[in-house]
């Protein structure tokens, strides 16, 4: 099949990308992904799940420049936590691996991909490929084909310390692709933290296989690097009685699209996904897109989506969330909430909540709202002596707290909340 992107004589990102040299297993996976991508092509505005913002930011042959973020002496998030640190600069692992506790195996894709055989063969690009149906995710296939680096992580026990992937970039035009694979063996437990500005343009895939009885927590912050363009993908497969929780905080960014694709493959699984995004279009465009697809393929599973966006000065928030309940997935409990707080009349929230249900004994609900600040609450706070700007920020934090509360670890919630408070206070000046 010839895609418009290929038939178009204009330069394409595809011409610029080079398949990394790989050993047998990775080579097969990459070639398969490239074939998948060629079938799909780059998305256009006519594609149902790209009609709000388009994919040009991620498909352009060269990324737009993104200034390096000046942290102004502020310590990065998670600094106060004891954790295992893995650093990436401009999309490449750097430094040395920390000493790993028992129950944890970590290798670099850049190294392990050279081998003839690796355990990740059963997952790398496999969960991504499964997640391409019924909705195509072309940038994820592109990532599987071309991502030069990432971590392959196998967890066989309960790992007490969180793993922290810390990103930074030095090159204002860096164009990074990272592909991480996690395999939680039965009964294993892990917390994964991600933070830092990874690149001017970023495309990530995180494939997570949570085996029966295993438990995975994920907390991610997408920071204040305003020029960022990022398309991220999480593909998760959940075994029987497993738990998957993922929270993302997003502040600024020119265009961020976070895709989450979850499939319940065993009974009694639990998946909670949440996002809090705050966008101020004052410094340029802000588009934030949460696209979620949860497939209940087994009975008795619980899914919960909580997405909150605070938008001002022409910021655009997008939510595309779907719950698909397959035939036989009885006793499904699906919940979806997407809300936007519009702080002015210039901002836009576009929401597309979807339920598709083929079982007859399920409880599924969704709610999507957008509205302004509660004037009654604002006056109440001001009448108690809280200045208007501070009162508004307090209400903004209150609005986001529903999503923050989805974070399992109270210390992390507090850390992230205090970051947001500081960010809001700095904006007030």
Partner 1 sequence: MLEIKGLKVKLEAEDKEILKGVDLEVPAGAVHAIMGPNGSGKSTLSYVLAGREGYEVTAGSATLDGQDLLDMAPEERAAAGLFLAFQYPVEIPGVGNMTFLRTAVNSQRKLRGEEELSAAEFLKLVRTEARKLRIDADMLKRPVNVGFSGGEKKRNEILQMAMLQPKMCILDETDSGLDVDAMKLVAEGVNGLRDAGRSFLVITHYQRLLDHIKPDVVHIMAAGRIVRTGGPELALEVEHNGYGDILSEVA
**In the complex, which residues of this chain contact partner 1 (CB under 8 A)?**
374-377, 379-388, 390-391, 394-395, 397-402
Spatial neighbors of 280 by CB under 8 A, at least 6 apart, are 252, 286, 312, 313, 315, 427
Nearest to 113 by CA among 26, 34, 220: 26
> Residue 281 CB, nearest distance to partner 1 (Å)?
24
Question: Minimum distance between the CB of residue 410 and partner 1, rounded to whole angstroms?
Answer: 13
Q: Which one, 134 or 372, has the nearer CB to partner 1? A: 372
Strands (DSSP E) found in 225-280: 229-238, 243-251, 255-264, 270-280
Residue (28 or 374) nearer to partner 1, CB: 374
CB of 312 to partner 1, least distance (A): 18
> Minimum CB separation from partner 1 for residue 376, in Å?
5
Closest to partner 1 by CB, 93 or 399: 399
What would the two tokens of residue 300 be?
A: 């008795």
Question: What tokens does 41 get?
Answer: 């092509």
Indicate left, alpha or beta for 422 from its phi (over 0: left) and psi (-120 to 50: alpha).
alpha
Cβ distance to partner 1 smaller for residue 34 or 381: 381
CA angle 143–145–151, rounded 5-degree value: 65
Grouping H, G, I as helix, E, B as strand and the rest as coil, residue 85 is strand
CB-based contacts of 266: which residues, under 8 Å, 6+ apart? 212, 238, 239, 240, 241, 242, 298
Complex with partner 1: residue 294 or 396, whichever CB lies closer: 396
Spatial neighbors of 71 by CB under 8 A, at least 6 apart, are none
- Which stretches of 122-243 are DSSP H helices? 126-130, 138-146
Q: Give the containing element (helix H, strand E) for 114.
A: none
Least distance from partner 1 to the Cβ atom of residue 169, Å:
34
In the complex with partner 1, which residue's Cβ is closer, 24 or 398?
398
Sequence-distant (6+) residues with CB within 8 A of 10 are none
Residue 270 C-beta: closest distance to partner 1, Å: 24
Distance between CA atoms of residues 123 and 119, nearest Å? 8
Name the residue nearer to partner 1 (CB basis): 6 or 388: 388
Least distance in angstroms from the C-beta of 375 to partner 1? 7
Closer by beta carbon to partner 1, 326 or else 382? 382
User: What SS3 class is residue 183?
Assistant: strand
Least separation in angstroms between residue 400's CB and partner 1 is: 8
Q: 43 or 275, CB closer to partner 1?
A: 275
Instruction: Spell out a b/e string for 281-308, using b for 16 or more CB atoms within 10 Å of the CB, else e.
Output: beeeebbbbbbbbbbbbbbbbbbbbbbb
Closest CB 383 distance from partner 1, rounded Å: 5
């Amino acid at each position: 099949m010839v895609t418009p992107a290929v038939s178009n004589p204009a330069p394409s990102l595809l011409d610029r990308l080079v398949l990394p040299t790989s050993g047998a297993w990775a080579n097969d996976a990459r070639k398969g992904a490239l074939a998948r991508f060629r079938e799909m092509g780059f998305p256009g505005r006519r594609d149902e799940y790209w009609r709000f913002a388009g994919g040009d930011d991620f498909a352009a042959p060269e990324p737009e420049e993104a200034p390096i973020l000046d942290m102004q002496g502020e310590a990065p998030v998670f600094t106060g936590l004891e954790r295992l640190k893995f650093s990436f600069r401009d999309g490449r692992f750097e430094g040395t691996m920390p000493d790993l506790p028992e129950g944890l195996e970590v290798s670099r894709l850049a190294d392990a991909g050279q081998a003839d055989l690796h355990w990740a063969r059963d997952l790398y690009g496999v969960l991504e490929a499964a997640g391409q149906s019924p909705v195509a995710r072309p940038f994820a296939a592109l990532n599987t084909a071309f991502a030069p680096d990432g971590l392959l992580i196998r967890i066989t026990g309960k790992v007490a310390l969180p793993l922290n992937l810390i990103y930074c970039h030095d090159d204002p035009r860096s164009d990074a692709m990272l592909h991480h694979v996690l395999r939680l063996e039965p009964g294993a437990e892990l917390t994964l933290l991600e933070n830092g500005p990874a690149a001017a343009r970023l495309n990530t895939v995180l494939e997570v296989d949570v085996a029966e009885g295993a438990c995975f927590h994920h907390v991610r912050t997408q920071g204040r690097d305003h020029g960022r363009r990022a398309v991220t993908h999480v593909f998760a497969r959940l075994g029987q009685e497993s738990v998957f929780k993922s929270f993302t905080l997003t502040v600024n960014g020119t265009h961020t699209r976070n895709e989450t694709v979850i499939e319940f493959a065993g009974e009694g699984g639990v998946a909670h996904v949440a996002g809090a995004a705050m966008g101020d279009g004052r410094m340029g465009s802000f588009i934030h897109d949460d696209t979620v697809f949860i497939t209940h393929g087994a009975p008795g599973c619980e899914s919960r989506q909580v997405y909150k966006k605070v938008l001002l000065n022409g910021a655009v928030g997008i939510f595309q969330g779907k719950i698909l309940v397959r035939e036989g997935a009885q006793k499904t409990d699906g919940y979806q909430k997407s809300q936007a707080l519009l702080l002015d009349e210039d901002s836009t929230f576009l929401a597309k909540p979807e339920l598709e249900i083929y079982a007859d004994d399920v409880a599924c609900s969704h709610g999507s709202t957008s509205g302004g600040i509660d004037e009654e609450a604002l006056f109440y706070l001001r009448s108690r002596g809280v200045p208007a700007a501070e009162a508004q920020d307090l209400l903004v934090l209150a609005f986001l707290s529903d999503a923050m509360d989805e974070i399992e670890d109270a210390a992390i919630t507090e850390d992230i909340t205090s970051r947001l408070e500081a960010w809001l206070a700095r904006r007030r000046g």
